[in-house]
Amino acid sequence: MNGIIPLYKPKGMTSHDCVAKMRRLLKIKKIGHTGTLDPSVEGVLPICVGEATKIIPFLLPLKKVYIADVFLGKSTTTEDADGEIVLEKKVETPPTNEEIHTALRQFQGEIKQVPPMYSAIKVKGKKLYEYARENKEIERPSRTVTIYKIERLITESETNNPFRIKVTCSKGTYIRTLCVDIGKSLGYPAHMSYLQRTETDGITLAETVTFEQIEEAIHLGEIDTIFLPIEFGLNHLAIYRVDEAVKRKVLQGQKLPLPKQLLKSEPFIIMHENELLAIYEKHPINKSEIKPVRVFNIHKRV
């Protein structure tokens, strides 16, 4: 059993909880996820099963898309609705649509973020949330992230507090922190009151399945229909197609001559017909060769 399950993570579960539940349902230990979502967050959480776990490092750098609510007037310890209120300011006149759009434009492109204290980033060998639980606030180095697109979404209530945004961003972006900073630019303490991940690793909401659907598929003996093929998660990599003779060398993990064709990305995947064989890259020393990064041992395709 090898492939990607495009799970819709429900609220109230950690990403680790989701992996543990999938291991119980599928009775397989070799399972991992492609990017942590906090318990209060719902949305797309790809689960890699079997040989698909080998592609996780190649998925994490991809763009993410989120929908979030920015709540003005209250900041919290965790920068979301789960934390304790630390600062309040009454919002007598919510910002206008133009003021919100002007504020959002400031965050387009590369920006600096200071990670929240309630995060898993390590400083001096210790995770920040461990310091936070000890009521210790320490200096955190800022990091550069990229906001490819940020826009205001009009909801049915059309309220300007909270107001909803859609963000397309790079790996490592803290949407909680982004909401806080947007609030500051509007002159208010703020926090993120809602978050949903709508796309990650090329997988969208429309492709996701719930735990209930997975359990039903297992009951009906149709679990294979739930999986996406491993190569689905590698669509961003170039393809080098080989013949049967080279296929045997690839599966043995051998180095190969540098292909004459121009490859648009590195690393790249090697395929024989419709069969994914491996991920290769240019040899760092011998520039006339390519070497394996991951070789897939897929006896039964999902």
**247 & 164 share domain:** no
Considering the domain boundaries, does residue 51 fall inside one?
yes
Q: Which residues of 266-299 are buried (b: 16+ CB within 10 A; e: fewer)?
A: ebbbbbbeeebbbbbebeeeeeeebbbbbbbebe
pLDDT of 31 reads 96
Residue 301 domain flag: no
Residue 185: how many other CB atoms lie within 10 Å: 17
140/152 same-domain check: yes
Give the range of the structural domain holding residue 274, as residue numbers without chain letter. Answer: 237-295
The 8-class DSSP code of residue 126 comes to: E
Catalytic residue among 38, 80, 181, 201: 38
Cis peptide before 57 (omega within 30 of 0): no
One-letter amino acid of 259? P
Q: What confidence score (pLDDT) does residue 10 get?
A: 96
pLDDT at 184 over 90: yes
78 and 188 housed in the same domain: yes
* Residue 114 shares a structural domain with residue 224: no
The answer on 285 and 168 residing in a single domain is: no
Does any domain span residue 245?
yes
Q: pLDDT value at position 60?
A: 65
Closest among 237, 236, 232 to 269, alpha carbons compared: 237
69 is catalytic: no
What average pLDDT does range 27-34 have in this prediction?
93
Encoded amino acid at 269, one letter: I
φ/ψ of residue 217, rounded to 5: -65, -40
Decide if 300 is inside a domain: no
Are 183 and 208 members of one domain?
no
Question: What is the CATH number for 87?
Answer: 3.30.2350.10
Distance CA 142, CA 247 (A): 46
Find the CATH number of the domain harbouring 264. 2.30.130.10
Together in a domain, 148 and 245: no
- What pLDDT is attached to residue 301? 39
**Count of structural domains within the chain:** 3
Instruction: Please state whether the predicted TM-score (pTM) of the whole model is above 0.85.
Output: yes
The three-point CA angle 47-53-57 to 5° equals 100
pLDDT, position 53: 94
pLDDT of residue 300: 42
Same domain? For 246 and 143 the reply is no
Question: What does each C-alpha distance from 181 to 115, 176, 190 come to in angstroms?
Answer: 12, 9, 8
Residues 103 and 161 placed together within one structural domain of the fold:
yes
pLDDT tens-place string over residues 119-152: 667 777 777 777 777 777 777 778 899 999 999 9
Task: Tell me what pLDDT residue 136 has.
Answer: 74
pLDDT at 222 over 60: yes
pLDDT in tens, 262-293: 777 789 999 999 899 999 999 989 989 999 99
